[in-house]
Amino acid sequence: MRVHSRARTAVIALGAVAVLVLVCFVSVMVGNKNIPPGEVWEAVLGRGDAYATVVVESRYPRTVLGLLVGAGLAVAGVLMQAVTRNPLAEPGLMGINTGAAASVVAASAFLGASGQMQLLLWALPGALLAGAFVHLLGGRGAGASPARLVLGGAVLTAVLSAFIQAVTLSSPRTFDSYRYWVVGALTGRNFEAVWTVLPLIAVGLVVALLLGRALDAMALGEDSAAALGASPARVRAVGLLTAVVLSAGATAAAGPIVFVGLAVPHLVRALVGIDMRRQVVFAALLGAVLLLLADVVGRVLVRPQELMVGVVTAFAGAPALLLAVRRMRATK
């Protein structure tokens, strides 16, 4: 039975990696001007003509950032659902999206920040502070609870949303800057954005993988986890902090992209079961695939214009939310 399970997991892993490579290839091939597959391959190998090489290379940052953002959001969703024991948890639950948005609005309105890199740098501390604040509201040690975390996130989101509306409605310049970022997009990003968020997402993915065994113990209950040598309070705190770091990096880089952190964990559990280390690995792979695929679809649907990736994931994620709710009701 175990051999069969490992063989199935290996097949799924190979399939996920193959699809990821294919989607990456399509991502540098498709755009306002499509490049034929043969020319893309020649450009990747450094043997293409000048035009094809320039076009393909200009799509590298967008593709790499899509991989990072998708992996970060998906793994953050896995951690949040495990720690809060809420199958509908996702990065927006902790107020991270709203915290990043509030930071962008404040920087634009009061400090004159503009441009993608400036907004990215200002979104990052806002997302981190929002996540940390919700964690404090949720309580520490024996006082911590998933319900208090959810309530804290809802309160912070309501307050910051009111602040965002007040500032953007009173400042047209701020609204113009904010409306582009808030949709969620990979377009126009360069490798500077990649290098800015890469350390956060890379460290977050490694810590999430290392937490796998402790989170498996937590799934048995806090008493059982303590008996197995895991500290529930410490595991919960580190898990939430890791989810915040991953979400903050992804949100700062691409804006608030919804449903990836919600849908991917459900898909991963259906494929590989409840083992947390497998969930983290496969969530990173499938999250990257789904976000890049959504970005490619957005380039094709309304060509020569583009549909922002945040819009595509919102349309695709709504059915995923309905399926998740139905699955919850079916298991009761």
pLDDT tens string 311-329: 888 887 767 667 666 665 5
Q: Which two tokens stand for residue 44?
A: 């990747």
pLDDT value at residue 171: 82
Does residue 130 share a domain with residue 97? Answer: yes
- Least confident piece of the model among 7-21, 79-93, 213-227, 300-314: 213-227
Residue, of 188 and 68, whose pLDDT is higher: 68
- Least confident piece of the model among 21-25, 133-137, 275-279: 133-137
Mean pLDDT of 233-251: 85
Does residue 99 share a domain with residue 51? Answer: no
Does residue 185 share a domain with residue 137? Answer: yes
Cβ pair 62, 186 in contact under 8 A: yes
Q: Where are the alpha helices (DSSP H) in the chain?
A: 2-29, 37-44, 50-58, 60-84, 96-111, 116-138, 146-170, 172-183, 191-210, 212-218, 222-227, 232-254, 260-272, 276-301, 309-331
Does residue 134 share a domain with residue 166? Answer: yes
Does residue 291 share a domain with residue 163? Answer: yes
Does residue 104 share a domain with residue 207? Answer: yes
Domain end, chosen from 26, 43, 58, is at 58
Domain that holds residue 105: 59-331
Does residue 170 share a domain with residue 126? Answer: yes
Most confident of 62-76, 100-114, 183-197, 290-304: 62-76
Q: What is the DSSP letter of 256?
A: -
CA 139, 75, 143: angle at the middle one, nearest 5?
Answer: 10
Does residue 253 share a domain with residue 150? Answer: yes
pLDDT value at residue 18: 93
- Least confident piece of the model among 51-65, 72-86, 100-114: 100-114
Output the domain CATH number for residue 178.
1.10.3470.10
Domain end, chosen from 38, 58, 78, is at 58
Domain end, chosen from 58, 88, 107, is at 58
Q: What is the pLDDT of residues 174-192, one digit of tens each?
A: 887 777 777 778 887 888 8
Cβ pair 165, 290 in contact under 8 A: no
Does residue 41 share a domain with residue 163? Answer: no
Does residue 132 share a domain with residue 46? Answer: no
Task: Please tell me the total count of domains within the chain.
Answer: 2
pLDDT-based confidence at residue 143 (cuts at 50, 70, 90): very low
Does residue 105 share a domain with residue 44? Answer: no
pLDDT-based confidence at residue 141 (cuts at 50, 70, 90): very low
pLDDT-based confidence at residue 142 (cuts at 50, 70, 90): very low
**pLDDT at residue 63 tops 90:** yes
Q: How far apart are CA 212 and CA 194, in angstroms?
A: 26
Does residue 307 share a domain with residue 288? Answer: yes
Q: Which two tokens stand for residue 55?
A: 């076009």
Residue, of 276 and 138, whose pLDDT is higher: 276
